[in-house]
Amino acid sequence: MSYLGLEGRRILVTGASSGIGRATAIEASRNGAILALSGRRDDALAETLAELEGTGHVTHPYDLSDLDGIPDLVQRVADDLGGIDGIVHAAGIHSARPLRTIDAAHLDDVLRTNVSTAILIAKGFRSKRVARVDGSLVLLSSAVATRGQTGVAAYAASKGAISAVTKSLASELLRDGIRVNCVEPGIVNTPLTTTLAASVGEAGWAAIEADHPMGIGEPTDVAHAILYLLSSASRWVTGISLPVDGGMSAR
């Protein structure tokens, strides 16, 4: 048994189709957790499922743009797994867009996708029919929540909101036995990173790389921090925003 104590813990991961969500699911399975994988694409979830160790894992495809159905999704997962010990809400969108091109529709899309979904995930988790003893909710913020970066105003606003809402949810859900924390990753090598690099150009990408003294990270670097926050090893930790950013926040 590892010090994390994740053996047999039932964990829902949104955004499990790729990137940090996929890496977290894989690493959690290697530590004995039982996973429910959620994302929009059946085929991508099947690819993640095939990489998991152990048995009992399930998939629950869902488009989180249907906000009102999110608590019901959490309930269905709980019914399938026999309750939920932890949720990692890794689903979200990255937006690199200059201020001059931002409109109301874009702002609404980013905030709904990155913030509204997180709050409704928490609403579903707090149900007595869902959360097991000592629950843990881990949200995904970003280093840009606290460190200014050109061209990401909408995205930074959404991730700053996640870091803020983490504290409010941690306070509110403490009475339900649920800890709430978030991680603030720097840039890691995911499919979104390729899109980002193309959007900011060669000079912009060079500046981003220079902003990470330890280099660009890998999804597993963030996944390992998430597993700590999911686990009993962090039983005395709630309401924090943990930078996992290759030294960016140290500068």
Residues 171-215: pLDDT tens digits? 999 999 999 999 999 989 887 777 777 777 888 888 888 889 999
Is residue 95 within 8 A of residue 154, CB to CB? The reply is yes
135 and 179 in contact (C-beta within 8 Å)? yes
Residue 234 near residue 226, CB atoms below 8 Å: no
Q: How far is CA 115 from CA 15, 64, 91, 135, 197, in A?
A: 14, 11, 10, 20, 24
Query: Could you tell me which of 167, 245, 232 has the C-alpha nearest to residue 3?
Result: 232
Question: Do 86 and 135 meet the contact criterion of CB atoms below 8 Å apart?
Answer: yes
CA distance from start to end of the chain? 37
pTM: 0.94
State yes or no: is 155 an active-site residue: yes
Mean local confidence (pLDDT), 20-25: 98
112 secondary structure, DSSP code: I
Q: 151 falls in which pLDDT band (50, 70, 90)?
A: low
Q: How far apart are CA 133 and CA 82, in angstroms?
A: 12
Q: Alpha-carbon distance 102 to 90, whole Å?
A: 24
pLDDT in tens, 60-111: 999 999 999 999 999 999 999 999 999 999 998 877 777 788 889 988 989 9
CB 120 within 8 A of CB 171: no
Q: How far apart are CA 73 and CA 58, in angstroms?
A: 13
- pLDDT above 90: percentage of residues in the chain: 70
Q: Look at residue 85 in the predicted model and tell me its pLDDT.
A: 97
Q: Distance (Å, rounded) from C-alpha 130 to C-alpha 86?
A: 10
Give Cβ neighbours of residue 175 (< 8 Å, ≥ 6 apart).
Answer: none
The b-or-e profile of 161-190 (16+ CB within 10 A means b, else e) is bbbebbbebbeebeeeebbbbbbbbbbbeb
**Residue whose tokens read 């890794």:** 90
| Dist. CA 137–CA 209, nearest whole Å | 30
Instruction: Give the pLDDT of residue 1.
Output: 59
Sorting pLDDT into bands at 50, 70 and 90, what band is 137?
very high
Mean pLDDT of the chain: 92
Domain annotation for the chain: domains and CATH numbers: 10-243 (3.40.50.720)
Q: Tell me how far apart the alpha carbons of residues 90 and 121 are, in angstroms, rounded to a whole number.
A: 11
**Which is nearest to 8 in space by CA: 88, 85, 60, 74?**
85
Question: Which position among 3, 62, 155, 228 bears the catalytic label?
Answer: 155
φ/ψ (deg, to 5) at 139: -105, 160
